[in-house]
Amino acid sequence: MTCASLESAMLRWVHAPNKGVRRVAILLFNDCSLQGAGVIAEVFQAANELSTSGSGAWLYDVSFLSADGGMVSSSSGLRVWTDGLDARHYVGFDALYVAGGKGAASAARDERLLGWLRRVRRNTAMIRSIAEGRAVLDAAALPEDKDASDLRQPTVARNGAGVAEQGAVELSDRLESMRSALAMIKRDLGNATARSAAERLLSDSCTNLAPLLGEDGGMSPGDKVRAAARWLQENCQQAISIADAAQFAAMSERNFLRRFKMEMGITPSSFLLHERLAVTCSLLTESELPVDKIARRTGMGNGDRLAKVFRKRMRISPTEFRIQSRRMAGE
């Protein structure tokens, strides 16, 4: 195998799943509302507590930001400590929320804040507004991301609303803010953790959790397949099967196989093998683990099976790959 072809193979296979802490930011400003912002922070905190009591596979790092940093006064009079906007954030976030409240109109005229949003948006997976925070994103000319759980209800008019109507609006904003956060937790940690997090925050409420969690048809078949693909990627080193992935997607195995091929252009088995080989290549290059142990650790069975797969897929043995990849790294 030539160095050029080996390099091509490495570029194709060495893309181990990006596992680690999820970076979540909530952008605040003076006279913002803490109704939605607070519940987002609570949801992720609940997920942190639930995940660390189990596998601890994912943790959410939630930060409050503002244009100048320091104390921000909310519309309710509560003050919140925030970090300022700076170049450190240009690496982006997994999720960025823009608070609502009457202060959004002033925030939408802050060119420094709008410029920061445009810059950060390039490397941010999802950006969402909370109620009036939509005006800030509009001023920055940034489209708002939607997710499978986005089941927005018509906005209740705020002008002249009575106490009961205003309370309904606040509850609606609270639940709407929860939907997006719970969708992210559901993708990362599964439906059970998302439901437990929701139940913690709504223990005294009669709210139906199904639409909040994107259940009862809330996710399209394509959304389910993409979520299952992510689950396969993140759990590829475990002893999982395609039947497990179909169950995760809440589909029959036959329908899952058909839908997966349509959406991803590859069978679930091939996708899982690709992900396992990616982790295997990474371990062969970066660790001193024996080939047999790497095979067991990456779900590839044993060294003999791994060698067969490598020779079939990459025309080289695992040991030869290790030697040549390290030689290339040292050049």
Q: What is the pLDDT of residues 27-37, one digit of tens each?
A: 999 999 988 88
CATH topology of domain 22-203: Rossmann fold (3.40.50)
Inter-CA distances, 284 with 91, 192, 234, 328, Å: 29, 35, 19, 13
Q: Report the candidate in 194, 271, 190, 255 with the shortest Cα–Cα distance to residue 227.
A: 190
What letter represents residue 214's amino acid?
A: G
What average pLDDT score do residues 121-147 get? 86
Residue 14 has pLDDT above 50, yes or no: no
Interatomic CA distance for residues 152 and 180, integer angstroms? 11
Q: For residues 308 and 234, what is the distance between their CA atoms, to the nearest angstrom?
A: 24
Helix (H) or strand (E) holding 179: helix 163-189
Pairing of strands 127-129, 95-98: parallel
Domain definitions of the chain by residue range: 1-17+220-331, 22-203
Q: Cα(54)–Cα(196) distance, rounded to whole angstroms?
A: 13
pLDDT value for 35? 82
Q: Model confidence over 266-321: pLDDT tens digits?
A: 899 999 998 888 888 888 888 889 999 998 888 888 889 988 988 888 888 989 88
More confident residue, 250 or 152: 250
Would you state the structure tokens that stand for residue 210, as one six-digit string? 């199904």
In 3-state terms, what secondary structure has residue 265? coil
321 vs 38: CA distance, rounded Å: 50
CA gap 96, 37 in Å, rounded = 11
Average pLDDT over residues 63-92: 90
Residue 253, amino acid? E
Q: Are residues 133 and 65 in contact, defined by beta-carbon separation less than 8 angstroms? A: no
Q: What is the pLDDT of residue 173?
A: 53
Q: Sorting pLDDT into bands at 50, 70 and 90, what band is 112?
A: very high
Alpha-carbon distance of 136 to 106, in angstroms, equals 9
Backbone angles phi, psi at 307, to 5 degrees: -60, -40
Q: What is the DSSP letter of 74?
A: B
> Is the model's pLDDT at 102 over the cut of 80?
yes
Say what percent of the chain tops pLDDT 70: 76
Residue 175 — pLDDT band, cuts 50, 70, 90? Answer: low
What would the CATH number be for the domain defined by 1-17+220-331?
Answer: 1.10.10.60
Whole-model pTM?
0.54
> pLDDT value at position 141?
92
Q: How many CB atoms lie within 10 A of CB 61?
A: 14
Mean pLDDT across the stretch 116-127?
Answer: 90
Looking at 165-169, 191-195, 196-200, 229-233, which range is the least confident one? Answer: 165-169
Task: Supply the pLDDT for residue 180.
Answer: 81
**One-letter identity of residue 168:** A
Topology alike, domains 1-17+220-331 and 22-203: no
Closest CA to 212 of 226, 201, 227: 201
Q: What is the pLDDT of residue 81?
A: 93
Looking at residue 2, its pLDDT comes to 39
